């Protein structure tokens, strides 16, 4: 018998179960590939003893931070798990729901912690191997860094599929597709909760160390970046790992998880048309995306002396093309070959592309925005900040236009997809969900490129600190520059997908509220922002986002100041450090930043959990003058307008920070007086200001948006 | 016959007409008082020839700018008047409406131009007289500055009452109260349109000059502020007048106008209960506020050596108490002594108080926020910006909480006011309108305090430039410091009232849309932000606010750079300037800034006019799946979420800028090394960055919010 027909027969036996098994199988295989990649990395040469000494210091610092961070996060998560269980068990008296919610939350938290941990585990090992390979072979160095990054990418996406798919199977979602997706929402909440702390803590750590090291090192002492004489340099390198690897890993884990669950909930509304397939489609599309990403990562190689970015782009194009093909197959298999829905997915894939280009326009020094910032350096740091801030505000415009077009386009494609028995609104929303799936189908590859950034950054640091020859430094500098670009691109991509996914999560929340109200699915739940309490909820939502950003940025400023004072103290008390005759005490700086970051992450981390719940619970008691419940509706407005504020502020901070960074790099290429000139000093101030924007507050905001969505999903019963 | 009974009889003859006449009479009397105040100012001594020379240079620069600015604004306004006429005449075929809308728009624009002009006319005359009086008598100087400011305050408020009341009478609103308020909306639009350009152009002018003068003067050349050797110093002093006086005058004119009209429209819904009185109440409350402000201004005098701020505060307390009394009388006369509504007004008055205190907390160097910024100056300009930015983001929280409480409190007071035959929603909205009226009842006094700021600032500049003895300088410095505080307070007040008034204008828009749809007044028009196109409108609204801020800030950066280059050129080509042997060429700097500001104000000024109309017209063609029209609803969401974003960004920029300014002042009192230290230089960078925040983008945003409201009111028929 032909193997294809055997597969077909097996699927026909119990199609839903068959597809779910395919998804789980692909996820397991991808995990296996991740293990192979990590073994490939580990097998590589680890360089000289000097290099190993530095690498070990980074490893120790990173692991010590993660241990302490994870114990803080775990305590908070256990507390929250208890609250969820008690709330659903005693408050609502629903035993099954209480148990399943709690299990989902715990599994989601654990998977998120694991995703962050493994991502960092491999990257603190890939950094030295990339550095070592860079001594002889650029292509080999690139491959080590990218495959190291791919361990995070594949691990994150397959863990999220295994988690969501596994819980779906465990709770017998195949025979109970109406309730089970709602029971899994706590998985997304657990993931977001952990991710927010991981991203915040890591983000504060990395930028406090970076800002501190740069201000005393580059500006005051006049020594280069990553100079071994700088006592904060190890803390800075540790920061790249705990912020950019562990933080971002947890962050993208919760993205994929929350969006999968949201899309499955919307799929419930389409049960009359697609049956269980509409619910499973998001998982299937993502699984095909995993295969596409594996192929993409595998084929990347640098030809001769070409720009490494070109090689990475080739991999991205291949991944995109394969993902589109996979998407088409998934639509054919599961969505009755509905071309409207396929094109909604194509819109998502195109949106990803446009975001990548817009981010490049605003953050590369080939174009007007960054050049205008660099030019304003002629008149000092104040004009650098003013011009940069105006660029930061401006760069929200194009992404919002693209997202608006994508949301509207996919909505109307869905609404006109000709789905019998489904309201155009529900079909339209499913269209936006499909677009989100399209945008996220290449997530594993994007995440691999993202983690590539800190690995090459660290490799450059190790080469610099172990004082390798100039020629090798130039090679790691080239990789590092590519890493900076990929980091900026993926942040644009992450916020774009968060924006596109926003609708999917709002709608999931509204669907859930309707279920709790006992409303029929067709009945329209309006979030009338013209209603006074609802408007107030919206205002509070936007405020929450501003306050959260304030706390995140303040934390960096505070921790950085303690680093600066410590470095100055070491320089003062031990003049041998600057002469290179004695070693600075790296450990004290690592300790200071660790403590500062952990302390500072708690308040901003709790705010988005407590805020929406407080609004929902208090506003529930207000009188409403039409039938929609005031509490739940005000929370919906809080969520939606909070999301809008989050999208804008995050875009502003990510791109603004990137633009300041590259204005400095532009001057460092020798323009406007080059390194050491007044213009350079002015752009260093800009870069420093941009640091907490682009690496602490900005990326945390995009987790915050998801956390708002998932906490409201979990706490919805409280608002009614 | 007792005169009181005569008055009562006269009122009874035609009560509506009687009250309207009282309002117009009080407005005319207040205008007369403004004339008396300006004659009081003009009568004062004009000091030495050296002082007059400087004052004349300021006068010339300011008048030249205003002439050119007004001719640009007028051309744009004429164009817009034509569009309005043609649109309503040919597009809608409504002759009466077309004529009345056009008249309203033209009158509104002219009044706004006049308000700005007269405010500046008197302040460029009060500055030198304040300076001259300060040489002998602090109390006299204070009185001249405050009464000069009161000319603007009284002029603005009475012009707006005369305009709105006069048009209401002209269009026979007393016998046609249902339509006429909607015909007057174009008055508010004209006022906002002019105000946006006045505030933007003036704001760009003043900050470009200020930033330019400070960066080259204080930082590079090391000469004090307002030093006559600085070629940009006259431009800087001119800027205070065209930005803070003319700009703010037009700005507060449109505030009072737009809010009066909005409240009258809400009063239409209450016709069954209060008849015409509910529509006239806003005008009456404002007229009583005028009387209260006149008394307040008149009683201000400094006792001996006390802090001048105390004297101003005494005046404010008296004004507030009288305004509250007047409010009570108005409620008794016109609103059937409904105590619920009176207390809604009290909420508004208390909100004004709280805003004043919150602003002080975030911008004075007695409290944690500013001190933390100053403290971060120890580690250089980058940490000053980071800390300041986190303070700026944070300071949105308390105002939003206060506004939320005020909106909810006054809404529920209104809803429970026991108004027969009125839906609780409509009554609740009227409650928020009453709160707004309460908050704005002291507007004339607040505006007098605001204009007091630039007058004393200029007086200080004239004393400094004419090289008066140290003792006199200290006296004007004291007045100047008070002026800085009052300027910050009134900005907080302005944004607070804009936030409180937001609802009133949304509701007016929705009422207007319902009229155009031919819906019954009771029918609820929902702005369902959970609907995809509506959400997209909301997202675009928030983006519009960010883009507008970007353009405003960029304009300052650009214009400031040209000033800096010109000043450097003068220092280079004429070394005699720094030695004090030859005069710099002030005129060139004035010219550069004039041209730069006028060119730069056009694009950001047109954006908020074109943006909402484009969204409404395009979205009108999208399919909606319930009965609410997609175009009009999306514009409503754009307006509401744009307002939210505007409130937050404006608060952030106003208070953030104020905090940076005062962190610098704190260091200048001798802390952290005092003037000339590295910490001082770092805070000067912060102050400079804050300049376009607090004096260009911030105050323009609050006009922008109103402009969005009024343009949507005028263009509403296009969206259906």
Are the Cβ atoms of A550 and B394 closer than 8 angstroms?
yes
B379, B386, B623 ranked by CB distance to A553: nearest: B386
pLDDT tens, residue by residue, B451-483: 898 899 889 888 988 888 888 888 888 888 888
For residue B173, give the DSSP letter. G
Q: Do A412 and B376 touch (CB under 8 A)?
A: no
Please indicate whether residue A15 or residue B597 has the higher confidence score (pLDDT): B597
Mutation target to probe the B interface, by most B beta carbons within 10 A, among A374, A377, A386, A537 is: A386
A688 and chain B in contact, CB less than 8 A: yes
What pLDDT is recorded for position B641? 96
> Distance between CA B206 and CA A64 in Å, rounded?
53
Q: Which residues of A touch B678 (CB under 8 A)?
A: none
Q: Select the residue of B376, B381, B390 nearest A550 (Cβ to Cβ).
A: B390
Which residues on A lie below 8 Å from B394 (Cβ)?
Answer: 546-547, 550-551, 554
- C-alpha A460/C-alpha A56 separation (Å) is 15
Q: How far apart are the first and last CA of chain A?
A: 57
Residue numbers in B near A623 (CB within 8 A): 412, 415, 424
For residues A556-568, average pLDDT:
86
Task: Write down the residue that tokens 């296996």 correspond to.
Answer: A32
Residue range B227-246: mean pLDDT, rounded: 85
- Give the pLDDT confidence score for residue B560 in this predicted structure: 87
Asked if A542 and B644 come within 8 Å (Cβ–Cβ), the reply is yes
Q: How many CB atoms lie within 10 A of CB A116?
A: 33
Number of inter-chain CB pairs under 8 A, A vs B:
279
Q: Check B550 against A393: CB less than 8 A apart.
A: yes
In chain A, which residue's Cα lies nearest the Cα of B524?
A626
pTM of the model: 0.93
User: Measured between beta carbons, which residues in chain B are less than 8 angstroms from residue A215?
Assistant: 379-380, 382-383
Distance CA B236, CA B61 (A): 10
Q: Across all residues in chain A, what is the average pLDDT?
A: 88
Find how far residue B470's CA is from the centre of its chain.
35
Residue contact A688–B390, C-beta within 8 A: no
Supply the mean pLDDT for chain B: 88
Give pLDDT tens digits for B620-668.
989 887 778 899 999 999 999 999 999 999 999 999 998 999 899 899 8
DSSP notation for A48-104: -HHHHHHHHHHHHHHHHHHHHHHHHHHHHHHHHHHHHHHIIIIIS--HHHHHHHHHH
- State the distance between the two ends of chain B, measured CA to CA, in whole angstroms: 57
B553 chain-A contacts, CB cut-off 8 A: 386, 389-390, 393
As a whole number of angstroms, the distance between CA A414 and CA B675 comes to 64
Residue B22 C-beta-side C-alpha neighbours within 13 Å: 25
Q: Nearest chain A Cα to B657, which residue?
A: A386
What's the CA gap between B540 and B676, in Å, rounded? 45
B-contacting residues of A 500-529, CB under 8 Å? 503, 506-507, 510, 524-529
Backbone angles phi, psi at A650, to 5 degrees: -65, -45
Could you tell me if the ipTM is greater than 0.95?
Answer: no
The answer to whether residue A313 neighbours chain B at the CB level (below 8 Å) is no
**B-interface mutation test, from A546, A632, A653, A672, most B Cβ less than 10 A away:** A546
Which chain A residue has the Cα nearest residue B526? A528
The answer to whether A564 faces chain B, any CB pair under 8 Å, is: yes
pLDDT higher than 90, residue B25 = yes
Contacts of A407 in chain B (CB under 8 A): 532, 535-536
Question: DSSP string spanning A511-543?
Answer: HHHHHHHT--TTS----BTTSHHHHHHHHHHHH
Closest Cα in chain A to B560:
A383
Strand, coil or helix: B337:
coil
Cross-chain Cβ contact A376/B685 below 8 Å: no
Say if B618 is an interface residue toward chain A (CB within 8 Å): no
For A108-139, write each residue's pLDDT tens digit.
Answer: 999 999 988 888 888 889 999 999 999 888 89
* Nearest CA distance, B484 vs chain A (angstrom): 21
Q: Compare CB distances from A543 to B390, B400, B641 and report the shortest one's residue.
A: B400
| Model confidence at A5: pLDDT above 70 | no
- What integer is the mean pLDDT of A554-559? 87
Task: Pick A527's closest partner by Cβ from B528, B684, B692.
Answer: B528
pLDDT per position as a tens digit, B698-713? 989 988 988 898 899 8
- Taking the Cβ of residue B635 and every Cβ of chain A, the question of whether any pair is shorter than 8 Å is answered with no
Own/partner contacts of A53-57, CB < 8 Å, gap of 24 or more, are A54/A128, A54/A234, A54/A237, A54/A461, A54/A462, A54/A465, A54/A466, A55/A124, A55/A127, A55/A128, A55/A131, A55/A462, A57/A234, A57/A586
pLDDT-derived band at A470 (thresholds 50, 70, 90) equals: confident
Say what the pLDDT of residue B323 is. 93
Closest-CA residue of A relative to B536 is: A404
B378 in reach of chain A (CB within 8 A):
yes
Question: What pLDDT digit, counting tens, does each position of B491-513 carry?
Answer: 888 888 888 877 778 888 988 89
Contact with chain A for residue B241, Cβ under 8 A:
no
- Cβ distance of B404 and A551 shorter than 8 Å: no
Nearest residue on chain B to A401, judged by CA atoms?
B540
Mean pLDDT, range B105-117, rounded to an integer: 91
pLDDT tens digits for A41-76? 999 999 889 889 888 888 888 888 888 889 989 999
Q: Say whether residue B18 is in contact with chain A using an 8 A CB cutoff.
A: no
User: CA of B641: which chain A residue's CA is closest?
Assistant: A641
How deeply is B1 buried, as exposed, middle or buried, from its count of CB atoms within 10 A (0-12, 13-18, 19+)? exposed
The pLDDT, as a whole number, for residue A9 is 61
The answer, for B553 touching chain A at a CB cutoff of 8 Å, is yes
- H or E stretch covering B675: none
Structure tokens given for B356: 């004043």
Distance to chain A for B5, nearest Cα, Å: 42
Q: Between chains, do B640 and A403 touch, taking CB under 8 Å as contact?
A: no
A535 contact residues in B (CB cutoff 8 A): 407, 503, 506, 640
Query: Which residues in chain A are contacts of B386 at CB distance < 8 A?
Result: 211, 553, 556-557, 560, 688-689, 692
Tell me the Cα Rg of chain A.
Answer: 25
Name the B residues in 95-154 with CB < 8 Å from any A CB. none
What is the pLDDT at residue B706? 85
Q: pLDDT of A610-643, one tens digit each?
A: 999 999 999 998 988 777 889 999 999 999 999 9
Q: Nearest Cβ partner of A524 from B387, B623, B626?
A: B626
Please tell me the predicted confidence (pLDDT) of residue A82. Answer: 92
User: What residues in B contact A411, CB-CB < 8 Å?
Assistant: 532-533
Interchain proximity A547–B394, CB inside 8 Å? yes
Determine the pLDDT at residue B542: 97
The reported pLDDT for the residue numbered A538 is 96
The region of weakest confidence among A488-502, A676-690, B281-295 is A488-502
DSSP, collapsed to helix, strand or coil, labels residue A684 as helix
Of the pLDDT bands very low, low, confident and very high (cuts 50, 70, 90), residue A648 is very high
Under an 8 A CB cutoff, do A557 and B376 touch?
yes
User: Who among B403, B636, B689 is closest to A385 (CB)?
Assistant: B689
- CB contact A403 to B (< 8 Å): yes
A358 interfacial to chain B (CB closer than 8 Å):
no
Tell me if chain A has a CB within 8 Å of the CB of B322: no
């Amino acid at each position: 018998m032909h193997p294809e027909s055997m597969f077909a027969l097996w699927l026909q036996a119990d199609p839903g179960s068959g597809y779910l098994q395919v998804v789980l199988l692909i996820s397991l295989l991808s995990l296996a590939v991740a293990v192979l990649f990590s073994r490939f990395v580990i097998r590589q040469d680890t360089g000289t003893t000097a290099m190993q000494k530095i690498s070990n210091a980074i490893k120790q610092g990173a692991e010590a931070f993660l241990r302490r961070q994870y114990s803080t996060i775990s305590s908070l998560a256990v507390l929250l798990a208890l609250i969820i269980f008690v709330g659903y068990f005693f408050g609502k008296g629903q035993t099954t729901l209480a148990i399943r919610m709690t299990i989902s939350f715990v599994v989601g938290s654990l998977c998120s912690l694991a995703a962050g941990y493994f991502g960092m585990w491999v990257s603190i090992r890939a950094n030295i191997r990339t550095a070592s390979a860079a001594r002889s072979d650029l292509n080999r160095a690139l491959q080590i860094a990218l495959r190291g990054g791919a361990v995070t990418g594949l691990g994150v996406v397959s863990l999220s599929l295994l988690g969501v798919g596994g819980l779906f199977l465990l709770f017998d979602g195949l025979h109970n597709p109406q309730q089970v997706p709602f029971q899994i929402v706590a998985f997304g909440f657990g993931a977001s909760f952990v991710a927010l702390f991981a991203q915040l803590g890591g983000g504060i750590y990395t930028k406090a160390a970076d800002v501190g090291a740069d201000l005393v090192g580059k500006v005051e002492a006049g020594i280069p970046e990553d100079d071994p004489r700088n006592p904060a340099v190890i803390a800075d390198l540790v920061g790249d790992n705990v912020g950019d690897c562990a933080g971002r890993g947890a962050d993208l884990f919760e993205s994929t998880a929350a969006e999968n669950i949201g899309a499955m909930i919307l799929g419930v509304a389409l049960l009359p048309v697609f049956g269980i397939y509409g619910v499973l489609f998001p998982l299937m599309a993502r699984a095909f995306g995993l295969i596409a990403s594996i192929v993409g990562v595998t084929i990347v190689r640098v030809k001769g002396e070409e720009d490494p970015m070109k090689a990475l782009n080739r991999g991205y194009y291949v991944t995109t093309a394969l993902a589109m093909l996979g998407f088409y197959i998934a639509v054919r298999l599961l969505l009755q070959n509905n071309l409207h829905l396929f094109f909604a997915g194509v819109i998502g894939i195109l949106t990803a592309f446009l975001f990548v280009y817009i981010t490049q326009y605003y953050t590369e020094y080939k174009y007007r925005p960054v050049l205008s910032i660099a030019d304003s350096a002629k008149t000092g740091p104040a004009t650098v900040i003013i011009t940069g801030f105006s660029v930061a505000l401006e760069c929200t415009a194009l992404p919002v236009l693209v997202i608006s077009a994508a949301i509207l386009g996919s909505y109307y494609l869905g609404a006109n997809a000709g789905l019998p028995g489904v309201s155009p609104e529900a079909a339209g929303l499913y269209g936006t969900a499909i677009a989100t799936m399209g945008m996220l189908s290449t997530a594993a590859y994007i995440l691999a490129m993202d983690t590539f950034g800190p690995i090459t950054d660290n490799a450059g640091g190790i080469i610099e600190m172990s004082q390798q020859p100039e020629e090798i430094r130039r090679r790691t500098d080239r990789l590092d520059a590519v890493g900076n670009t990929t980091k900026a691109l993926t942040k644009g991509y992450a916020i774009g997908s968060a924006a596109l996914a926003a609708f999917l999560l709002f709608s999931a929340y509204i669907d859930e509220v309707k279920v709790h109200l006992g409303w029929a699915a067709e009945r329209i739940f309006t979030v009338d922002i013209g209603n006074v309490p609802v408007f107030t909820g919206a205002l509070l939502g936007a405020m929450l986002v501003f306050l959260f950003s304030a706390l995140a940025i303040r934390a960096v400023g505070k921790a950085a100041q303690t680093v600066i004072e410590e470095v100055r103290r070491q320089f003062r008390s031990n003049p041998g450090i600057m002469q290179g005759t004695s070693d600075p005490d790296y450990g004290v700086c690592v300790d200071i930043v660790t403590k500062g970051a952990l302390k500072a992450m708690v308040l901003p981390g709790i705010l988005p959990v407590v805020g929406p719940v407080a609004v929902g619970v208090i506003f529930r008691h207000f009188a409403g003058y039409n039938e929609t419940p005031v509490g739940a509706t005000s929370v919906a407005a809080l969520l939606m307008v909070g999301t809008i504020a989050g999208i804008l502020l995050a875009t502003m901070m990510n791109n603004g920070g990137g633009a300041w960074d590259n204005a400095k790099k532009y001057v460092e290429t020798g323009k406007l007086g080059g390194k050491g000139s007044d213009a350079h000093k002015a752009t260093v101030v800009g870069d420093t200001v941009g640091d907490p924007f682009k690496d602490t507050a900005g990326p945390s905001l995009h987790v915050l948006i998801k956390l708002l969505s998932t906490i409201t999903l979990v706490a919805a019963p409280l608002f009614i």
